[in-house]
């Protein structure tokens, strides 16, 4: 951990976590996101582990209370109804208690659970032992229902956690959003519409959602005939790292982890298929027929987290990063469609920066890891715990008092 120069900000970050606590789970930010989101919660747990280890484990346990029988851990758990968010539980129609969405989100939980356990091995042993079979069932779901092509695919841009990033443009272009009817968005009532996905994106998000709901979330049908299916470098690298971390946890607990080791090895063998020589980077691929997306976004650099970087990727990282000043941009500023303040189409996301930096640090790129930390810390110190930032001038964007930004401050940036 780094020097703690700002005790005040540490306290503010803790206050944000406590303030966003709704009793056993944490909302990403008040108002805009009033439910429990999957990867946000894993980061919240990591943040809590710096000052309340019991609360950290509770966060993960509550997230897994929404797990489906097939192992899927949904991207949103709707514990208490809240009219401030659309699409809410009635739109997803999961028919479950607690109600949930019908897709998943980046499986960072095992990665962060391992780090949380390391903070207090004694206190964590029973908690991680109880979570282990649930994590394993989720990883098995990823392997069975998302990794059929050799790497991890997503069935909805929301499943990737990077909603409107340019990686999904070719897949989204084929989705017909013209029949979703009237609806009222709530996000643009909370934050500036110019920083959010556009209406045509939302129409398509809903069309994909309706397909899943209307087939009763039948995964085979969604994979075979759903409107959107793209291989995602982001989830692939996170899942690869998570398989390996879960195997390490399992070994420590005395389990046979050969199944997990096998999944990790298969995924690692599939990674080269995501390398697009034309853009010299790991790239998303459309499994509905159009090949590579032709984009190198921040997801490509999660390769460091999974020990899958190459010298060509190091070079690409320098080129892209040197076009901005405040952390890693979610899309390349030199590529078409870059928009420095529109959500995942350019902004720097502290939470993604923390994962890339973790990988850089472990892979012997200490200087780059420190630069990423410094640039991320600078905008937070200057503006506060915002959701994301303009990577060129540091303008704070999206929601304020954001849980995962506070969490990565406590664990990494601060």
> Mind telling me the catalytic residues?
163, 387
Pattern 186-215, binding to ligand 9YW, x per CB under 6 A? -x----------------------------
DSSP for 239-281 reads HHHHHHHHHHHHHHTT---HHHHHHHHHHHHHGGGGEETTTTE
Is 163 an interacting residue with respect to ligand 9YW (CB under 6 A)?
Answer: yes
- Cα–Cα distances in angstroms (integers) from residue 61 to residues 4, 24, 36, 65, 109, in the given order: 30, 9, 12, 6, 11
Between 40 and 286, CB nearer to ligand 9YW: 40
Among 21, 30, 33, 287, binds ligand 9YW (CB under 6 A): 33
Cα 184-189-193 angle, rounded to 5 deg: 95
* Size of site (CB under 6 A) for ligand 9YW: 8
Is 385 an interacting residue with respect to ligand 9YW (CB under 6 A)?
Answer: no
Between 39 and 217, CB nearer to ligand 9YW: 39
Between 55 and 345, CB nearer to ligand 9YW: 345
Is 25 an interacting residue with respect to ligand 9YW (CB under 6 A)?
Answer: no
Pattern 38-57, binding to ligand 9YW, x per CB under 6 A? -xx-----------------
Among 20, 26, 28, 410, binds ligand 9YW (CB under 6 A): 28
Is 297 an interacting residue with respect to ligand 9YW (CB under 6 A)?
Answer: no
Q: Helix, strand, coil shares of the chain as percentages rounded to 5? A: 50, 5, 40
Is 37 an interacting residue with respect to ligand 9YW (CB under 6 A)?
Answer: yes
Is 159 an interacting residue with respect to ligand 9YW (CB under 6 A)?
Answer: no
> What secondary structure, in 3-state letters, does 158-209 show?
HHHCCCCCHHHHHHHCCCCCCCCCCCCCCHHHHCCHHHCCCHHHHHHHHHHH
Look at the block and give the residue holding tokens 């190198």.
Answer: 296
Residue pair 331/346 in contact (Cβ under 8 Å)? The answer is yes
Binding-site ranges for ligand 9YW (CB under 6 A): 28, 33, 37, 39-40, 161, 163, 187
């Amino acid at each position: 951990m780094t020097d703690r120069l700002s005790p005040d900000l540490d306290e503010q970050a803790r206050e944000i976590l406590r303030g966003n606590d709704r009793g056993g789970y944490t909302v990403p930010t008040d108002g805009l996101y009033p439910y429990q989101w999957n990867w946000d919660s894993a980061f919240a747990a990591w943040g809590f582990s710096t000052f309340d280890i019991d609360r950290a484990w509770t966060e993960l346990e509550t997230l897994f209370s929404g797990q489906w029988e097939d192992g899927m851990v949904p991207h949103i758990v709707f514990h208490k109804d809240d009219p401030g968010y659309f699409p809410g539980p009635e739109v997803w129609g999961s028919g479950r208690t607690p109600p949930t969405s019908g897709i998943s989100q980046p499986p960072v939980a095992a990665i962060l659970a391992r780090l949380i356990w390391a903070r207090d091995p004694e206190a964590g042993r029973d908690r991680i032992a109880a979570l282990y079979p649930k994590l394993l069932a989720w990883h098995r779901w990823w392997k069975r229902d998302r990794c059929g092509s050799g790497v991890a695919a997503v069935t909805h841009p929301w499943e990737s956690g990077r909603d409107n990033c340019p990686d999904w443009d070719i897949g989204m272009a084929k989705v017909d959003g013209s029949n979703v009817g009237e609806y009222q968005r709530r996000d643009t009532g909370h934050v500036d519409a110019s920083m959010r996905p556009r209406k045509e994106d939302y129409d398509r998000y809903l069309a994909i959602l309706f397909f899943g709901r209307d087939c009763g979330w039948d995964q085979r049908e969604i994979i075979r005939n759903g409107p959107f299916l793209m291989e995602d470098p982001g989830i692939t690298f996170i899942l690869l790292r998570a398989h390996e971390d879960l195997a390490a946890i399992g070994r420590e607990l005395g389990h046979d982890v050969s199944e997990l080791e096998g999944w990790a090895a298969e995924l690692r063998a599939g990674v080269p298929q995501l390398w697009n020589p034309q853009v010299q980077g790991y790239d998303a691929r459309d499994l509905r027929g159009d090949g590579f997306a032709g984009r190198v976004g921040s997801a490509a650099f999660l390769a460091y987290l999974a020990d899958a970087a190459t010298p060509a990727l190091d070079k690409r990282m320098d080129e892209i990063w040197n076009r901005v000043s405040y952390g890693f941009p979610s899309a390349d500023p030199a590529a078409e469609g870059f928009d420095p303040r529109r959500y995942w189409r350019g902004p720097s996301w502290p939470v993604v920066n923390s994962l890339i930096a973790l990988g850089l640090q472990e892979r012997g790129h200490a200087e780059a890891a420190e630069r990423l930390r410094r640039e991320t810390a600078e905008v937070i110190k200057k503006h506060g715990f915002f959701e994301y930032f303009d990577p060129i001038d540091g303008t704070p964007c999206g929601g304020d008092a954001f849980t995962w930004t506070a969490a990565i401050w406590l664990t990494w940036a601060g």
